[in-house]
Amino acid sequence: MAMRITIDPITRIEGHLRIDCEVDGGKVVNSWSSGQMWRGIEVILKDRDPRDAWIFAQRICGVCTTVHAIVSVRAVENALKLKVPLNAQYIRNMIIAAHGIHDHIVHFYQLSALDWVDIVSALKADPKAAAAIAQSLSDWPLNSADEFAKVQKKVQAFVDSGQLGIFGSGYWGHPAMKLPPEVNLLAIVHYMQALDYQRRANQIVGILGSKTPHIQNLAVGGVANPINPESQSTLTLERLYKVKTLLDELGGFVQQVYLPDVAAIGALYADWTAYGAGVTTMMAVPEMPLDTRNTQFALPGGFIPAGDVGRFQAMANFSDGFFEKGVKESAKHAWYEGSGEPLHPYDGETEPKFTGFEDDAKYSWVKAPTFNGERVQVGPLANVLAMYAAGHEPTKRNLGRLLSIAAKVGGNELPLSALQSTIGRHAARAVRCAVLTETLAAQWDLLMQNIAKGDYATFNAPSFPKGEIRGFGCHEAPRGVLSHWTVIKNGKIANYQAVVPSTWNAGPRDENDALGPYEASLIGNPVADPERPLEVIRTVHSFDPCLACAIHMIDGSGEIARIKVL
Amino acid sequence: MNVLVLGVGNILLSDEGAGVRVIEALQERYDVPETVAVVDGGTCGMDLLDTLADRDHLIVVDAVHTGSPPGTVVRIDGRDIPAVFRTNATPHQLGLQEVLAKLILLERAPARVTVIGVQPACLDLGLALSEAVARRIDDILRLLIAELPGIVLRPDGRVWPTAAELIA
């Protein structure tokens, strides 16, 4: 008999996500994804100066501040057909790359590794044997037996002191946990090192973005970083060389730790290449513009029908209409007013109408977006497959390396199609992260070469015409395609909509009742113990959900003895 | 002493952004010595790991739900802090409690943590604070100043933002 499980909220993600599943015979047979999605930016931005939109847009989410800022200035620049100086493009590209690397490292180690790695088991490992496994995967200098023994001791002390909860809600001892103790220890050692290395990515964002955690250097028309190789108050050579040191160290961690770890852990969980494919039609947008008009890009993007990379359609640039015309959102199953007819974001409406959770009617605050009428999956998997299909050399090389490590560890060659799965999404994210470390270094070179030519320009002043203009910005963010859409009337914002990656992936059923990517990916997932649905969490986490509720209030209503009320 | 004053919250949701508004007022009105870092943390989580690391004293200013009347100001210190961060599932799983947990693991956690909070009245969309919270900004600042060594009111410091401006 079918059994209903509700996971509310899904932990270790940003924002609030509820997942319902019907489980029958140890497998998921139906599912619903219900989310709380930020839906109010248009209210805040209406009638404001479009030049200020990004400052507010970056407050939509606590994880994705940088990406909302970037895509917002792109939307306004697109409406104005404004050129962006090369230096500004390179600086933005470096911020995008560093932010993405940070996000991917944190997602794998801090947010999802514990779905696959059992800390309690790691305590039983022989540190010498664990270090030997690590050394067989890469030359990383911190893979010594001493380091492994040290971390194991530290974790043991935590467990003994009852602080295991610090690692988040892990499913220790769950039957779906299958790694040998030594590999569990390897992952925990690198979990700790990741905490140290992810900071370097943030430091790069801080240096280039003038401030962290909210970057301050953006402007519609460029960046507000005056470049002066000599002056202390600007982007000096000294600061740029500091960025270089940090990006090299970061690249080492990603290439020698993150990518091999995902390959090895993925190979040991090869059965998970059979679950979680879901919606295989995919979309990614080109990223890292290399010219002032956004027509050439370092990273390609496009559309993959039904997971068939042979039928890849490239998206040439932001202005060819391919993306702009194809996007619509349906509110048939979302708590909004309206006829349920899908609307283009320029015409988007946001009138809340909460009716309670109804399986066959409305059950989510997230709308269901479609591209040319189809559901699509976005994210690193779509991104990597699109870059692969476009023949992007760094993607093919890093993907090849990951698959060869996986073949060595697992003893089996995995086909490209294995990526279309729960574990494959982690693999694709690691490949994307490795590509981003190379992109970051390449953009640094381009910036230095351009400055050496004597070009210090970073900003073109925008001017707003009378009448109405429209524009959209898109960005291949860590979780996939992000777009902001704006209508500007007489220099003031008349409408503003954000279609975020988690809308594409976490959306409910659409106007034709087709399942969204989260929902579709859960069908057929095994569930060994409905009381502890680790397998469902694995598949959901593989998308890196980020449903920015944008609420951060501390709840102090617990058992606090000495609150001083003034 | 190496002190961090961290204002957190979402400025797009009226009183949810109270912590950030207090930080803005602090920077506007006071001269803060070099030993005190003042940071607008917004709703960030893991991005704040470095900012929070190795502090002698972390003072968090935030909207705090205590079930008291709107505008009620609270100061939570010492041993009560873990309870605030641990026992309650805030909507932000990657929030401050997570960052503090990671810092404990790295042995880089702040030596002392104080939370100064205010009970919100309104969490609707909008940039302005409610009247109930706006009129407590001065009290919150006074409480905050009492924690900070060597802080002085700027001689030319106009009072900003005024309660009237904040609720406009």
Point out the least confidently predicted range of A18-27, A158-167, B159-168.
B159-168
Which residue from A198, A550, A556 is facing B64, i.e. has the nearest CB?
Answer: A556
Q: Residue A107: what pLDDT?
A: 93
Q: pLDDT digits over A464-497, tens only?
A: 999 999 999 999 999 999 999 999 999 999 999 8
Which A-chain residues 91-110 have CB contacts (< 8 A) with chain B?
102, 106, 110
3-state helix vs strand vs coil in chain A, percent to 5: 45, 15, 40
Which residue from B41, B84, B125 is facing A40, i.e. has the nearest CB?
Answer: B125
> Is the pLDDT reported for residue A387 higher than 50?
yes
Q: Residue A167: what pLDDT?
A: 72
Point out the least confidently predicted range of A33-37, A200-204, A404-408, B131-135.
A33-37
Backbone angles phi, psi at A431, to 5 degrees: -65, -45
Within 10 angstroms of residue A13's Cβ, the number of other Cβ atoms is 24
> Is the pLDDT reported for residue A59 higher than 80?
yes
Closest-CA distance of chain A to residue B147, Å: 15
Q: Residue B91: what pLDDT?
A: 37
Report, as an integer, the average pLDDT of B76-87.
Answer: 60
Report, as an integer, the average pLDDT of A40-61.
Answer: 89
On whether the pTM is more than 0.90, the answer is: yes
ipTM: 0.85
Asked if B86's CB is within 8 angstroms of A195's CB, the reply is: no
How far is the C-alpha of B94 from the C-alpha of A11, rounded, in Å? 9
Question: Would you call the peptide bond into B161 cis, given omega within 30 degrees of 0 as the criterion?
Answer: yes
Measured between CA atoms, the residue of chain A closest to residue B71 is: A566
Residue A301's contacts (CB-CB under 8 Å, 6 or more residues apart) are: A283, A284, A285, A286, A287, A314, A315, A383, A386, A387, A390, A476
Q: pLDDT digits over A352-373, tens only?
A: 888 889 999 999 988 899 999 9
Q: Which one of A47, A101, A107, A554 would you mutate to disrupt binding with B, by most B Cβ within 10 Å of its Cβ?
A: A554
Backbone angles phi, psi at B157, to 5 degrees: -65, 105
**Alpha carbon of residue A464 to chain centroid:** 33
How far is the C-alpha of A99 from the C-alpha of A205, rounded, in Å? 7
Asked if B43's CB is within 8 angstroms of A552's CB, the reply is: yes
**Alpha carbon of residue A103 to chain centroid:** 6
> Is the pLDDT reported for residue B154 higher than 80?
no
Q: pLDDT digits over A397-456, tens only?
A: 999 999 999 999 999 899 999 999 999 999 999 999 999 999 999 999 999 999 999 999
Asked if A166's CB is within 8 angstroms of B104's CB, the reply is: yes
How far is the C-alpha of A98 from the C-alpha of A246, rounded, in Å? 10
Q: pLDDT digits over B29-58, tens only?
A: 888 888 899 999 988 878 888 899 999 999
Q: Residue A187: what pLDDT?
A: 97
Q: Judge residue B48's burial from the number of C-beta atoms within 10 Å of its C-beta, 0-12 exposed, 13-18 middle, 19 or more buried.
A: buried
Q: Residue A420: what pLDDT?
A: 97
* Long-range CB contacts (within 8 A, 24+) of A125-129: A125/A152, A125/A180, A125/A181, A125/A182, A125/A184, A125/A185, A126/A181, A126/A182, A127/A152, A127/A185, A129/A182
pLDDT > 90 fraction of chain A, expressed in percent and rounded: 73
Residue A416's contacts (CB-CB under 8 Å, 6 or more residues apart) are: A309, A388
Q: Is A42 a catalytic residue?
A: no
**Mean pLDDT, rounded, of chain A:** 90
- From chain A, the residues in CB contact with B98 under 8 A are 168
Q: Which one of B4, B11, B12, B137 would you mutate to disrupt binding with A, by most A Cβ within 10 Å of its Cβ?
A: B12
DSSP string, A81-117: T----HHHHHHHHHHHHHHHHHHHHIIIIIIIGGGT-
Packing angle between helix A86-105 and helix A237-253, nearest 10 degrees? 30
- The tokens for B46 are 């893991």
How far is the C-alpha of B168 from the C-alpha of B158, rounded, in Å? 18
Question: Cα torsion at B127, B130, B133, B135 (round to 10°)?
Answer: 100
Q: Residue A345: what pLDDT?
A: 83
How far is the C-alpha of A19 from the C-alpha of A30, rounded, in Å? 11
Closest-CA distance of chain A to residue B112, Å: 16
> Is the pLDDT reported for residue A91 higher than 80?
yes
Asked if B115's CB is within 8 angstroms of A556's CB, the reply is: yes
What is the dihedral sign for C-alpha A40, A88, B37, B155?
negative
Question: Cα torsion at B101, B103, B104, B106 (round to 10°)?
Answer: 130
Report, as an integer, the average pLDDT of A42-58.
Answer: 92
Question: Cα torsion at A304, A309, A312, A318 (round to 10°)?
Answer: 60
Q: Judge residue A340's burial from the number of C-beta atoms within 10 Å of its C-beta, 0-12 exposed, 13-18 middle, 19 or more buried.
A: middle
- From chain B, the residues in CB contact with A106 under 8 A are 46
Q: Which one of B8, B46, B58 would you mutate to disrupt binding with A, by most A Cβ within 10 Å of its Cβ?
A: B46
How far CA B93 is from CA of A17, A547, B6, in Å, comes to: 11, 11, 18
Beta-bridge mates of residue B73: B118
Asked if A16's CB is within 8 angstroms of B91's CB, the reply is: yes
Which residue from A213, A551, A556 is facing B47, i.e. has the nearest CB?
Answer: A213
Which residue from A14, A60, A163 is facing B94, i.e. has the nearest CB?
Answer: A14
Q: Residue A257: what pLDDT?
A: 98
Q: Judge residue B25's burial from the number of C-beta atoms within 10 Å of its C-beta, 0-12 exposed, 13-18 middle, 19 or more buried.
A: buried
Packing angle between helix A127-137 and helix A145-160, nearest 10 degrees? 130
Q: Residue A291: what pLDDT?
A: 97
Asked if A562's CB is within 8 angstroms of B12's CB, the reply is: no
> Is the pLDDT reported for residue A503 higher than 80?
yes
Using the CB atoms, write b or e for A474-511: b if 16+ within 10 Å. bbbbbbbbbbbbbbbeeeebbbbbbbbbbbbbbbbbbb
Report, as an integer, the average pLDDT of A55-63.
Answer: 83
Q: Residue B46: what pLDDT?
A: 82
Q: Residue B30: what pLDDT?
A: 87
DSSP H or E run through B130:
none
- The tokens for A538 are 């694995």
How far is the C-alpha of B144 from the C-alpha of A249, rounded, in Å? 39
Of A208, A202, A224, A200, nearest to A94 by C-alpha is A208
Q: Residue B162: what pLDDT?
A: 44
Q: Residue A344: what pLDDT?
A: 87
Q: Is A433 a catalytic residue?
A: no
Report, as an integer, the average pLDDT of A534-549.
Answer: 86
In terms of residues, how long is chain A? 566
Backbone angles phi, psi at B50, to 5 degrees: -65, -40
> Is the pLDDT reported for residue A556 higher than 70?
no
Asked if A552's CB is within 8 angstroms of B73's CB, the reply is: no
Closest-CA distance of chain B to residue A166, Å: 5
